[in-house]
Amino acid sequence: MTPGLFTSTDTADEWHLCNVLGKEKCLETLQDHWSTFYTRDDFVAIKSAGLTAVRIPLGYWAVDLLDYEPYVSGQYPHLIQAVQWAGELDLNVMVDIHGAPGSQNGWEETGLVGPVAFSANTSNSDRTLKVLQNLTSEFTKSQYKGVVTNIELLNEPLIGLPELKTFYTSGYNLIVPANTSGVNVTIHDGFYNPHSWAYYDPNDASASVAAPYLTVDTHQFWAFPPLNDLSKSEILQAVCNFGMQIRANQSTSGIPPTLVGEWSLSTGITANSTTDAGQDQGKRTWFRRLFEAQNAAFTPYGEGQSSIGWYFWAWKTQYDIDAWSYRKGVADGYIPSNVSDPSTYAFPLLKTGANIGCIDPTFEYTAPATVSSTTSATTAGATASTTANSSWNATPTAKSSAPGVYSSRWEACGLLAIVSLALFGLA
């Protein structure tokens, strides 16, 4: 999200950043980051873009930090502030454990690059459960008025399915009985895909329905092997096929309520591009088609479907990389200005046939030749972006019709954008 923080130390994750800087300097550096990278203006801009919720990743060390660990703690007040801002703006919040002790996947966004050591001992899972208990106790308090709708037990774990289910059972049984606000327990699919969790109940292996207060998080990216070799038409068809799977009726598929918790516009097609979308009409044309294809696929359009909405990764990055920055997409016109208003969309949906609910792939669309100079300067910051978009409708359409916003106890998930407050390496 903010690679510039790591440049001077030539490190790739927060563990090594703090190890090189020392705790005092690292805390000073990160306090500045936490205080400035996201502000209330960003939340206002998120609301103005028609988004209804934010996802906030958190490292375990914000709650449970041992003396020998080089991390520093100080994130928690900023997490509380973010939840309060969300409440003021009628946005909902999902909090996820992005970094667990020992690292659950060995990637930089967990805070520590290297072996997957989460499963090396029970202390790691016990410490993670302690963090989940803390989050549950805090954010189910009446003062937050149910703003936090989801707590995700573990982000992107690379762990064997039996062991993962054991941890999920412990996490589910910790949160559900203790919560007083109806918060949902969210489990990442572990890259086994949602169908592997059909009829999943942590306490009943033979269940014929999914457990209550349980949602599945799946991440769909097209920029990493082997999917980075797909052509445009192959990507669009794969997106449509996946959408058909999660938009099937729960009563027949058994798939629990499912959200696409991370996706972007990055693909193998543009991964090595050296042009910015603001100056590349062809790139904006492709991005708009890809965005609307994924929005259509990941958004439910009827009652009883497994799909409950999505989060885009991310609202912004330090340099607003075009495929990964939602606010830049809005400013440059390759993301609709108000995603809760279908009249801002460019592509019609198929209403009949095998691909019903997907965008019409035959529809001709070309992005405008140029981008307005008043909306393209997203690097000026969230305040400038908010000002430029001040004419947007900040009030979503009715919940019965707005895409991704639905009636039922799952309505809080809605259409979502990720806000990253914790710092996880170069993610």
Residue 397 near residue 34, CB atoms below 8 Å = no
Are the CB atoms for 19 and 70 separated by under 8 Å?
yes
Which candidate, 95, 188, 187, 195, places its Cα nearest to that of 140? 95
CA nearest 119: which of 154, 160, 174?
160
Residues in a beta bridge with 126 = none
- Residue 386 CA to chain centroid, in angstroms? 21
310 CB contacts (<8 Å, ≥6 apart)? Answer: 259, 260, 261, 263, 294, 295, 298, 299, 404, 415, 416
Please tell me which residue in 152, 156, 292, 411 is annotated as part of the active site.
Answer: 156
Of the listed 152, 262, 292, 411, which one is catalytic? 262
Helix (H) or strand (E) holding 262: strand 258-262
Q: Cβ atoms within 10 A of the Cβ of 331, count?
A: 27
Residue type, 200: Y
d(CA 133, CA 92): 20
Contact (Cβ atoms closer than 8 angstroms) between residue 54 and residue 91: yes
DSSP 8-class letter at 222: B
Sign of CA dihedral 367, 48, 417, 185: negative
Per the structure block, which two tokens stand in for 87? 């409440």
Identify how many contiguous H helices and E strands the chain contains and give both numbers.
Answer: 11, 8
Active site residue 292: no
24 tagged catalytic: no
Q: Which of 146, 246, 236, 251 is CA-nearest to residue 196?
A: 246
Q: Which residues are catalytic?
A: 156, 262
